[in-house]
Amino acid sequence: MTIGEPRHPFPGWVGDVMAQHAGDFGKYPPNDGTPELRVAIAGYLQRRYGVTVGDDRIIPLNGTREGLFNTLLALCPEEKRGQRPVVLIPNPFYQVYGVAALAAGAEPVYVPATAGSGFLPDYTALAPEVLDRVAVAYLCSPSNPQGAVADNGYWTSLIELAETHDFKIFADECYCEIYRDAPAPGLLQIAQAQGGDPERAVVFHSLSKRSNLPGLRSGFVAGGRQSIERVRHLRAYAGAPQPLPVQRVAEHAWADDAHVEDNRALYRRKYAVADDVFAGLPEYTPPEAGFFLWLPVADSEAAALRLWRETGVRVLPGRYFSRVVNGEDPGAGYVRVALVAAEDEVRRGLTLIRDCLYQ
């Protein structure tokens, strides 16, 4: 229950599509992705969010992780208003945000995403001098590790803040297809409805969680025309485009929603298992979306070790996702539990966790 590696089956046609196009391993793939793949992605964005995004505003990625890194290199200026730029990062966070900020020469500013702030960072509470230096704000929704979802109001005020202080928002939406009831709203959808500068919104999506294909290494970035042009420029020199047969599989995957619904149904069953196992436990916050539980404990490492020693269940200490800021570590009092295994295995694991840590 440590790594967030999906273990549900991926669609049965993946191997066939790959084999059908195996001859294309003999060709250099286009840097920007095939037009067919970009059109399939645009179709997905239309169906999922009701947004119209030209295929020139989309670039396929080798999974979102490299995109979250390289897109910051492409879009973070060397200076903002004559000063070192700031990159805002929720705390706890997916590690690549911090690595990207440092590689781009920016100052990472970690903003607590705790129970008190609905497990999302309150960027609006930062000092105006800091906000004026912000080049990019990362936001993960549905969030890893807490499973929190940024609602319309959250996105709207973040977009307003970005307009006021002139920065871009990088929305990591790779868990957007795994939710309980209502689909999580996306940044492009809210930004388009708000009618602001389209260059502010940059979104990242992945087939890793949507289609259970973490090994395919396939995702995309979409954003404003100028932003995507800069990403394209960087990739023309330093990119590693996806092999054509992989792009063909991705094209099929983005065009198909049936397998995504089946997958979501499996996760819904596991949310129900978690709600059942932890029923009545005041410490338990049911995740809104994604496939992690973020469980409070006295000490994250001690709890993970005890669990492993006494039950054989492995989880990740929350402090491996967080930074100490002003003496506070928002991950130190949590463990992260991945609900990726089969339902019966998840029930067994969660029951052991409950009995070991909460009774």
One-letter amino acid for residue 165 of the chain: H
* Alpha carbon distance 353, 276 (integer Å): 13
Which position has the token pair 């063909």? Answer: 248
242 binds ligand PLP (CB under 6 A): no
* Residue nearer to ligand PLP on the CB measure, 131 or 136: 136
Minimal distance in Å, beta carbon 64 to ligand PLP? 4
* Residue nearer to ligand PLP on the CB measure, 34 or 70: 70
331 binds ligand PLP (CB under 6 A): no
259 binds ligand PLP (CB under 6 A): no
Minimal distance in Å, beta carbon 321 to ligand PLP? 10
Give the three-state DSSP class for 136: strand
Q: Residue from 6, 11, 63, 287 that binds ligand PLP (CB under 6 A)? A: 63
* Alpha carbon distance 65, 220 (integer Å): 10
Between the CA of residue 99 and those of 53, 168, 227, 298, 350, what are the distances in Å?
A: 29, 18, 20, 28, 32
The DSSP code sequence of 143-210 is -TTT-----HHHHHHHHHHHHHHT-EEEEE-TTTT-BSSSPPP-HHHHHHHHT--GGGEEEEEEHHHH
Choices 58-66, 160-168, 227-235, 337-345; region in contact with ligand PLP by CB under 6 A: 58-66
Strand order in the sheet with 316-317: 292-296, 334-338, 316-317
Choices 62-70, 112-120, 125-133, 194-202; region in contact with ligand PLP by CB under 6 A: 62-70
90 binds ligand PLP (CB under 6 A): no
Taking alpha carbons only, the member of 260, 64, 286, 288 closest to residue 184 is 288
60 binds ligand PLP (CB under 6 A): no
* Alpha carbon distance 197, 254 (integer Å): 27
**72 Cβ contact list (under 8 Å, min separation 6):** 87, 100, 101, 103, 104, 106, 136, 170
Between the CA of residue 249 and those of 16, 18, 211, what are the distances in Å?
A: 9, 6, 11
Minimal distance in Å, beta carbon 4 to ligand PLP? 4
* Residue nearer to ligand PLP on the CB measure, 131 or 137: 137
Minimal distance in Å, beta carbon 159 to ligand PLP? 21
Give the three-state DSSP class for 81: coil
User: Is the preceding omega at residue 145 within 30 degrees of 0, hence cis?
Assistant: yes
254 binds ligand PLP (CB under 6 A): no
Minimal distance in Å, beta carbon 163 to ligand PLP? 25
Between residue 191 and residue 220, which ones bind ligand PLP under the rule CB under 6 A?
206, 208, 214, 219
Between residue 93 and residue 112, which ones bind ligand PLP under the rule CB under 6 A?
94
333 binds ligand PLP (CB under 6 A): no
92 binds ligand PLP (CB under 6 A): no
Strand partners, 140: 172
Minimal distance in Å, beta carbon 145 to ligand PLP? 8
* Residue nearer to ligand PLP on the CB measure, 6 or 224: 6
Minimal distance in Å, beta carbon 214 to ligand PLP? 5
Between residue 119 and residue 178, which ones bind ligand PLP under the rule CB under 6 A?
140, 144, 172, 174
In this structure, what is the dihedral angle of CA atoms 259, 265, 266, 271, given to the nearest 10 degrees?
150
User: Is the preceding omega at residue 296 within 30 degrees of 0, hence cis?
Assistant: no
Choices 61-69, 76-84, 301-309, 328-336; region in contact with ligand PLP by CB under 6 A: 61-69
Minimal distance in Å, beta carbon 40 to ligand PLP? 17
Binding site for ligand PLP (CB under 6 A): 4, 63-65, 94, 140, 144, 172, 174, 206, 208, 214, 219
